[in-house]
Amino acid sequence: MYLIVGLGNPGKQYERTKHNTGFIAIDYIAEKLGEKINKEKFNGLYCKTQIQQQQVILLKPTTYMNLSGDSVIQYLNYFNIPTSNLIVIFDDVDIDMGKMRIKKNGSAGTHNGMKSIVNSIGATDFARIKIGIDNGYNNNLVDYVLSNYTKEQLDNLYKICQDVYDSVIYIINGDIEKAMNTYN
């Protein structure tokens, strides 16, 4: 079983913000699979489904970004999912808008949601799909990541979400290298 997590903040006021890129991507994946992420457990909204005959849980932690790890660790433990079967999708200000980068492990970097996950699970050996939101924040990072996407940016994000979905398939099939070579 795999746990695929999209990071974001709960609430209507955050729906279209850059910091909710992970939520937007995970909702896209659910929609592609004909699913809705609408069950509640362990401070998160989730659904169980299958991708490529592999059982997966799609998760949107509802703890707010900075405490995402509190929800993720509970899912990993309850469903007995190894950290190597965790995939986290999130925004990254150090990547240009319209680009994505896949990593198979590494540090949390400066992303508070990732810091929370790494601290909670005590591991860094899991896949990450980073979606670029640009670094146009002019020294006010909080306001920038909590600002809404423009319609054009959101349209471009939905195109990237197809690549995110395809990357998830590669990763679940054990070929993260191919995903990295294709999309990085």
- Taking only the tens place, the pLDDT of each residue in 71-101 is 999 999 999 999 999 999 999 999 999 899 9
How many Å apart are CA 21 and CA 8, to the nearest integer? 7
Which amino acid would we find at residue 181? N
pLDDT tens, position by position, 15-32? 999 999 999 999 999 999
Cα within 13 Å of Cα(87), Cβ side:
26
Look at residue 137 and tell me whether its pLDDT is greater than 80: no
Which listed residue (18, 19, 60, 111) is catalytic? 19
List the Cα angle 170/15/86 in 5-degree steps. 30
CATH number, domain with residue 18: 3.40.50.1470
Residue range 151-172: mean pLDDT, rounded:
96
3-class SS of residue 100: strand
Residue range 44-73: mean pLDDT, rounded:
96
Catalytic residue status for 111: no
DSSP 8-state code for residue 62: -
How many Å apart are CA 82 and CA 9, to the nearest integer? 25
Contact 3, 56 (CB under 8 A): yes
Q: Tell me phi and psi for residue 91, to 5 degrees.
A: -80, 150
Contact 159, 107 (CB under 8 A): no
Structural domain span for residue 154: 2-183
Residues of the chain with pLDDT > 90: what percent?
A: 87
Number of domains in the chain: 1
Look at residue 135 and tell me whether its pLDDT is greater than 80: no
Which amino acid would we find at residue 98? G
CA-wise closest residue to 167 among 159, 155, 177, 157: 177
Residue range 153-174: mean pLDDT, rounded:
95
CA-wise closest residue to 98 among 134, 73, 122, 124: 134
Q: Can you say whether the dihedral through the CA atoms of 141, 142, 144, 150 is positive or negative?
A: positive
User: Which residues lie closer than 8 Å to 29 by C-beta, 6 or more apart?
Assistant: 4, 6, 58, 161, 164, 165, 168
